[in-house]
Amino acid sequence: MLLLAATVLEGLAGLRALARMATTFGGSALAPSPPAAAGSIDAIVPVLNEERRLAPALAALAACGPSLGTILVVDGGSTDRTRDVVLAARARDSRIRLVDAGLPGPGWNGKAWNLAAGLALSQATWIATIDADVRIGAGLLDAAVARAQRDRLVLLSVATRQELADIGAALLHPALLTTLVYRAGLPNVVTGDPGRVQANGQVMVASRETLRETGALAAARASRCEDVTIARTVAASGARVGFFEGDATVRMHDSGAECAANWPRSLTLLDGFVGRGKLAFALAEVLFAQALPLPTLALIALDGGHAPYARTMLAIAVALVAMRLGVLAGTRRAYPHAPPAYWLSPLADLPAVALVIASALRRTHRWRGRTLVTEGVA
């Protein structure tokens, strides 16, 4: 009976995940657009010890047209050659400026601190925040501004294409990405509901006025998922925000081990908008909808159909595994080069969900040698 109860819960959780995907299906990605007005966009690139990854990101920004005014590279205390990389890039493009933000102030984590320092110096109508490992297409920012103006958005972010460093990353990264799909639905959506927000801080474009008026960066100062918190804060002010696929590529991690150590921290989506009770329910849904159906199917097969309601359980398990394979086919477009191991990533669903749950339970997190400030949640 325990297996039956688990299978029923899996089915209910799967239906909820399917409903989220159905209600977010059918949106369109960012499309090539005419250039925005000259100097109407400023880019902020927050950095900390990024000498190995920063140069391609700056080269991609330098390829953008005159709509991109200033490129503010905001350093939060790098101890490697990051500054040299920035100065070399500035010699080729005078739009690039190096900003020394210093160490984060009390109660702030580094990325939000750097973004706030960049915002204080910006003058453009639109602010693009770009992570140091992201290479954007030359027309992406113009496309983002055009979409924001068309859909009356004050903030949007981009679902980037992901490069997989090794077999471990090819197994784990898609499984972790799927936890977001099951919890939030598909990209290419617009919402004004903070509870339905999707966001990606790797590439985010927002109205400078909105960021300042809402205090969104200060609201995210101690968040584990500052990108989602920024978008939730803006949505809570009554504005509409969007999340779209677009022309940007990133290698988030250099190995599967690095992916396991770092990405689950932000995948909890835990901040002041989400209490621990709501988070526990959300993670339980992912556990039952994504991680357990394949083991359940294996147990039913091993039992040989002798358990009570075996046919019903088998039908539920098969349907959920089929749904998972459908999501796997759908997320394939997020990876420019998916190795064969990508197609085996559902085998990593259980450890992936376990990593996110473990991260949610962990009170202290570290990144680049720094202990992160923890935001108080209910």
Residues with Cβ within 8 Å of 290's Cβ and at least 6 positions away in sequence, in order, are: 17, 178, 179, 182, 324, 349, 353
For residue 303, the model assigns a pLDDT of: 77
Q: What is the spatial distance between Cα 93 and Cα 307, in angstroms, rounded to a whole number? A: 69
The tens digit of pLDDT for each residue in 251-267 reads: 999 999 999 999 999 99
Instruction: List beta partners, residue 130.
Output: 203
- Tell me what the mean pLDDT of segment 255-282 comes to: 92
The tens digit of pLDDT for each residue in 184-211 reads: 999 999 999 999 999 999 999 999 999 9
Domain 41-164+185-251: homologous superfamily in CATH: Spore Coat Polysaccharide Biosynthesis Protein SpsA; Chain A (3.90.550.10)
pTM score of the predicted model? 0.94
Q: Which of the four pLDDT bands, split at 50, 70 and 90, describes residue 305?
A: low
Q: Which of the four pLDDT bands, split at 50, 70 and 90, describes residue 378?
A: very low
Asked if residues 270 and 184 have their Cβ atoms less than 8 Å apart, the reply is: no
Domain coordinates of the chain in residue numbers? 2-24+274-368, 41-164+185-251
Q: Could you give the percent of the chain with pLDDT greater than 90?
A: 88
The tens digit of pLDDT for each residue in 93-145 reads: 999 999 999 999 999 999 999 999 999 999 999 999 999 999 999 999 999 99
Instruction: List beta partners, residue 36.
Output: none
- Indicate the average pLDDT of the chain: 94
